[in-house]
Amino acid sequence: MADQLISRADLSGIERRLSAVMGEISSLASDQERMATALARFHGEFVAFVAADAKQKQLQLAETRLVKVRQELEERFGFHGEVRRRGTGILQALDAGVVTHQSVQDATEEMMISAPGYWLAPALVALAAWIRDERPLAEKALGEALRRDDYKTSLYFALVLRRHARRSAALAWLGRFYAHQDPTALDREFVVLLDAVAGGIFGPEARAVTSAHITDWLTHLSERVGFVEEQERRWAEAIWALTPSPLPGRYPTLERVSPTWDKLKWSLAAGHLHGRVRDHFAGIFEGPVTHSPRLQEDVDGLLTRLVSDFDDQELPLRARERELEIVVEEGGDLDAARRRNDAEQRVFAEKHDFTALLTNAAMHPATAGASRATQRFAVALSKAWVIRAYDRVTASARAAYPTELVVKVEGWQGVIRTGNEEGALTQSLDTWLRQREEEELAKLGGLLARVVMGLGAALILLALVGGVPLLILGAIVLVGGWISWSSTDTARKGVRKKYEAARADAPRVIKAAVAEAVDARAELEREDARAEETHAYLDAISPDQYTLTRDAEPRAVIA
């Protein structure tokens, strides 16, 4: 008893203490949770602070460096900007005819002294000397300009002389400019010039000079292994892209019952390609060539850009200046600044492969910004590749024409080859349906029920001698057999009705499928016939017509 009293007292005390401990543990857990939340928030704020601090430091660093880079640019190339401004001014003054020769001479000679190494300074001296008809000075200055930068000097004089209608001289400089070009990596200037030449801005003789250089490039490029195949592959790809989408709903029965439908659908679309190709190239070679007023502006813009762009010597520092400017604009965010800088550099440094330029101009003129004159020029130059590529596309399309069409109805399959199979296919399907009907009916049974009914009838007859029990038994067996038989009879009627409908429908399906197959074949042959016509059209293109003569005359269709 005493033990019991002690135990009760101890337990309550223990329980109290246990409750207290549980309460403290619970309180600890809450505190821990609050601490974890606070720690996470603090961590987030700390990370944000570190990032902001890093950005701020990068911003300050970029601003400091930018000042230094600009100081260096001013010390080393400060006068180049002055040369550029004066160069633009001299051009405008020449256009307007408002400045005296002496002023131009003084301005240019001062630039020679102040901007050593810059090609534009002696080029302007040569220009001024040419205007004053001082040949020795002009030749000397020209030699110096060419020594400093042959490429830009050649382009500069080609553009300036064209501007002042000195066509033959401009042509000579144009030829020199072409000699600098790498046909696998053309500058954006070349693209504008090609459009200008094709558009007649440089006069008809420029086409001959340009096509001679280009023919030379192509001859050398063609000697490279795989070059010709690559051009044919590129033109084939561009021609395939003209394939129209298949028209829906033309052959609904075949679409429903033929597993060969997809192949036929594709062949029909490929067949319509021939007309599209003919129309595309007719659109290039027929109709007038209109000169875009933008073309003149683009050529003048080229000259302005040439005069105002940075010289090669300054480029590394100018690039660094631009990089730092972007960092400042992005508030010190190096990643964002790097992305913007990369994007700018990509656009600026874009090079063009000449043969890709030809394909794009002919097949995607809107994207390439090519005029109709440039398209004609491009196709005329690429004629051999275009024809071989087209023939290859035609052969590939023809290889895929299905020579037979499979027709499937339920589990039955037939083949249409000539279009004369309607009778045979209808008969085959009918026979197959009848066989299936017999099989299904056999599965339903009913024989046993009839046997049982027969047994019942026999028992009833035996009742004449066997008495009432046999009569009753016979009646039961007969009725049982009859119930079993009548339940399968409904199912049998259903089967017969189903196959009767199928047999009535079968000739319609076969007739429609065969008729559509014949129509599809006729359509294929009709569209395919246009392939020879298109081949002949392409073959009749004469490169000489579009590289040597003036534009704007519609070409004769086929000689």
Partner 1 sequence: MEAVRRLDAGAVHDAGAVEQVVAAIHAEFGDLTFVELPLAWVSRCCLGEPYEVHTLDVAGAIVEHYKRGQPLPGPAEGARALALHPAYAFIEVHHDGFVCVRADGSVTRT
Neighbours of 380 (CB within 10 A): 21
Applying CB under 8 A, among 36, 40, 50, 395 the residue interacting with partner 1 is: 395
Closest to partner 1 by CB, 225 vs 468, is 225
Could you tell me the smallest distance in angstroms from the CB atom of residue 218 to partner 1? Answer: 21
Contacts of partner 1 in 516-555 (CB under 8 A): 528, 531-532
| Other C-beta atoms lying within 10 Å of the C-beta of residue 224 | 10
For position 309 contacting partner 1 by CB under 8 A, the verdict is: no
- CA end-to-end distance (rounded Å), the chain: 133
Count of residues binding partner 1 (CB under 8 A)? 19
182 versus 532: smaller Cβ distance to partner 1? 532
Q: Does residue 387 contact residue 278 with C-beta atoms inside 8 Å?
A: no
CA–CA gap between residue 479 and residue 460 (Å, rounded): 12
Integer Cα distance of 191 and 379 in angstroms: 16
Of 151 and 401, the one with the shorter C-beta distance to partner 1 is: 401
**Phi/psi of residue 351, nearest 5 degrees:** -115, 155
Q: Is 322 exposed, middle or buried (0-12, 13-18, 19+ CB in 10 A)?
A: middle
- Which CB atom, from 298 or from 528, has the smaller least distance to partner 1? 528
Q: Among residues 16, 85, 417, 508, which is the contact residue for partner 1, using CB under 8 A?
A: 417
Among 151, 227, 310, 401, binds partner 1 (CB under 8 A): 401
Least Å distance, CB 546 to partner 1, is 24
Give the one residue of 403, 464, 465, 490 binding partner 1; rule: CB under 8 A: 403
Q: Choose one: 31-39, 51-59, 118-126, 399-407; the region binding partner 1 (CB under 8 A).
A: 399-407
What residues have CB less than 8 Å from 55, skipping those under 6 apart? Answer: 331, 332, 333
Q: Considering beta carbons, is residue 39 or 536 the nearer one to partner 1?
A: 536
Residue 392 binds partner 1, judged by CB under 8 A: yes
Stretch that binds partner 1, among 59-67, 110-118, 342-350, 410-418 (CB under 8 A): 410-418
Q: Output the smallest distance, CB 480 to partner 1, in A.
A: 55
Q: What is the largest CA-CA distance in the chain?
A: 154
CB of 402 to partner 1, least distance (A): 8
- The answer to whether residue 226 forms part of the interface with partner 1 (CB under 8 A) is no
Rule CB under 8 A: say whether 418 interacts with partner 1.
Answer: yes
Q: Which two tokens stand for residue 522?
A: 């006729």
Burial 259-295 (b: 16+ CB within 10 A, else e): ebbeebbbbbbbbbbbbbbbebbeebbeeebebeeeb
Which one among 6, 415, 448, 476 touches partner 1, defined by CB under 8 A? 415
Cβ-based nearer residue to partner 1, 332 or 402: 402
407 binds partner 1 (CB under 8 A): no
What the block records as the tokens of 254 is 């075949």
CA 179 to chain centre: 33
Among 142-150, 193-201, 243-251, 393-401, the segment contacting partner 1 (CB under 8 A): 393-401
Q: Is 445 exposed, middle or buried (0-12, 13-18, 19+ CB in 10 A)?
A: middle
| Stretch binding partner 1 (CB under 8 A), from 4-12, 165-173, 391-399, 481-489 | 391-399
Q: In which element (H, E) is residue 406 found? A: strand 405-409
Residues 298, 196 contacting (CB under 8 angstroms): yes
Q: Which two tokens stand for residue 375?
A: 């398209």
Burial class (CB in 10 A: 0-12, 13-18, 19+), 335: exposed
Place of tokens 């009705």: 497
392 burial (CB, 10 Å; 0-12 / 13-18 / 19+) is: middle
Among positions 11, 21, 47, 400, the unique one binding partner 1 when judged by CB under 8 A: 400
- Tell me the closest approach of the beta carbon of residue 437 to partner 1, in angstroms: 29
Work out whether 245 is an interface residue with partner 1 (CB under 8 A): no
State yes or no: residue 399 binds partner 1 (CB under 8 A): yes
Is 135 one of the binding residues for partner 1 (CB under 8 A)?
Answer: no
Least distance to partner 1 from the beta carbon of 417, Å?
A: 5
Residue 34 in contact with partner 1, rule: CB under 8 A: no
Taking CB under 8 A as the rule, does residue 388 contact partner 1? yes
Q: How far apart are CA 97 and CA 110, in angstroms?
A: 21
Taking the least distance from each CB to partner 1, the nearer of 160 and 510 is: 510
Which stretches of the chain bind partner 1, using CB under 8 A? Answer: 388, 391-392, 394-396, 398-404, 415, 417-418, 528, 531-532
